[in-house]
Amino acid sequence: MDTSWIQVFVLTLAECVAPAGKTVCQEQQFELQFLRKADCEYALEQLVAAKSELDYVIVNRQKSGCVPSATQSETYKSLEDISAALGDSPGWRVPGDDASRRAVVQEDHGKRLANLMPCEETNYVVPCKVGEIIVEEINGDNVEVWKQD
C-alpha cells in the first residue's frame, strides 16, 4: 500500500438559516467530497432545490458550488492487494460494477421512498423525503441524505 493524491470535487453549500421567529439568519457552510464532477453537480442541484423551498433558509449561490481539489489517499497496486488489506473489515465489498447489487439497492430505496411522506407535509420531521431524496436524522443534528443513483 502506498499513499497518493487523488482528484476530488468539493461541494460547498453556503446558506443562512433563521431560527423560528427570528428575522436575522446565521451564515453557515458545509462541504462534501465527490470523486466525480457530475455527482457533485447533481448533489448541489438537489440541495439547492430542497433548501430553496424552506422559508427560513437562504442559499448563497455565489458562494456555493463544486470545485476540483485533491486529497491524499491510500492506494493499492491491485484488487488482490486491497482485498488482502481490507477483506476482513466490517462491510468490505469487492469494488466493481455489480448491476445486481445496484438493482437491490434501488429496489429497497424505491420501497422506502414510497412509504415516506414529503418533508413539507411532515413539517420537516424526519424521516421524510424531498423529491427522490430520503432525509434521516441520527443522534441529534446529523442528517443523512439518501438519493437514488
Print the domain residue range for 6: 1-90
State whether 34 and 84 are in the same domain: yes
In a shared domain, residues 7 and 73? yes
pLDDT surpassing 90 at residue 70? yes
| Model confidence band, residue 140 (pLDDT cutoffs 50, 70, 90) | low
Mean pLDDT computed over every residue of the chain: 83
The per-residue pLDDT for range 49-64, each reduced to its tens digit, is: 998 888 888 899 999 9
pLDDT of amino acid 139:
57
Q: With 0.85 as the threshold, say if the pTM is over it.
A: no
CA distance 57 to 92: 38
Q: Does residue 105 share a domain with residue 126?
A: yes
Statement to judge: residues 54 and 117 lie in one domain: no
Q: Both 48 and 104 in a single domain?
A: no
- Predicted confidence at residue 144, as pLDDT, reads 56
Q: Are residues 70 and 1 in the same domain?
A: yes
Report pLDDT for 128. 87
- C-alpha closest to that of 12 among 28, 32, 42, 26: 32
Q: Are 69 and 80 in contact (CB under 8 A)?
A: no
| Residue 70, φ and ψ in degrees, nearest 5 | -145, 155
pLDDT at 149 (0 to 100): 52
